Amino acid sequence: MSALIPAPLSSVALPPLDTTQTPWPGEFHRVDDHEVHVRVTPGDGPPAVYVHGLGGSATNWTDLAAQLRDHVRGYSLDLPGFGRSEPVPGYDFSLATHARTVIRYLETLKEPVHLFGNSMGGAISVITAATRPDLVRTLTLVSPAVPDLRPRLDRMSDPRMALAFLPVVGAKVRRELAKLTAHERTRQMLDLCFADPGLVPDHRIEESIAENEERARQKWAGQALNRSTFGLMQSWLTPGPKSLWRLLPLVKAPTLVVWGENDRLVSVRKGPRTARLLPKGRLLVLPRTGHVAQMERPTTVARAVLGMWEAVDRHTW
């Protein structure tokens, strides 16, 4: 295999990082039969669309979208079943179905977008870019959920998650997990997704607790999380042309792959293979960073994204 070309970092001035910035207000957009909730970050330039990961929401992109607002206008989606997007009856929560929803939304913007995806959102973005290259200007993948079948319990926020999808005992385990408080869910997320949870600002922790409290009142949230988890795991076991590994070479857009060195959910060891399979892929590995680099290192990720865009403009990517 050829050696990976490193991803360049831009030196352009960025807005001051303000971790007290609250998530931008949302608005609902009709996408097929869904009312999809989208948080819009005012900005200049072409559209950027942000797709969150499993258990996340549009608020996962607040800081990165703020860092890029001088260059793009941002649209952060709540996938059906997450954030404030209620799923329609019969929605199956597979990666392909989530990708179809993203594609339908991108079509409404009437021009190619800079597409971003984290974790499950990264896998969804790969499917989107491979299926509809005409809709994607560039692609940024933050710890994309490519197949990673390591049998390790420390990848789960609660060891009981390993039992949640088993027959007979699974239903009881899911009921127990549903009893977790918003504070407990937030603490589990921080411990699992961040390399150093102690560095997360109090303001962001309070936002996460409030969001978990809101999700606890949504009758559809638990099912959406469970079935999307199953859909993701099912995709990891899919062989042949529908495998994510087989889709990566079909992505035509210039692609930046960002991975945290301390990612517990999807091993950083998957990074080089992911970037090499992408025809125009480059990899950036960030030390002391976990699964959500766009939240832990928004300024560095923004510089890497701008570096890609600058290289594309110079035809050097």
What CATH number did the domain enclosing 109 receive?
A: 3.40.50.1820
Residue 117, beta-bridge partner list = 51, 141
Share of the chain above pLDDT 90, in %: 75
| Per-residue H/E/C for 75-90 | EEECCCCCCCCCCCCC
Asked if residue 201 is part of any domain, the answer here is: no
Asked if residues 292 and 142 have their Cβ atoms less than 8 Å apart, the reply is yes
pTM: 0.91
Indicate the DSSP class of residue 17.
P
Residue 62 lies in a domain: yes
Name residue 135's amino acid.
L
Residue 173: pLDDT band (50, 70, 90) is very low
128-159: pLDDT as tens digits: 999 999 999 999 999 999 998 765 545 444 44
Q: CA-to-CA distance for 279 and 237, rounded, in angstroms? A: 24
| C-alpha distances out from residue 44 to 47, 69, 71, 72, Å | 9, 6, 5, 5
Query: In this structure, is residue 168 part of a structural domain?
Result: no
pLDDT at 303: 98
Tens-place pLDDT, residues 1-52 = 446 888 999 999 999 999 888 899 999 999 988 899 999 999 989 999 999 9
Residue 214 inside a domain? The answer is: no
C-alpha pair distances (Å), 62 with each of 40, 72, 128, 162, 259 = 10, 14, 22, 31, 19
Number of domains observed in the structure of the chain: 1
Tens digits of residue pLDDT in 264-303:
999 999 999 999 999 999 999 999 999 999 999 999 999 9
Looking at residue 239, its pLDDT comes to 81
> 75 versus 223: which is more confidently predicted?
75
Is there a domain that residue 242 lies in? yes
pLDDT of residue 160: 43
- Give tens-digit pLDDT for 212-249: 999 999 999 989 998 998 899 888 888 877 789 999 99
- The parent domain of residue 75 ranges over 26-149+233-313
Whether residue 144 lies inside any domain: the answer is: yes
pLDDT given at position 44 = 86
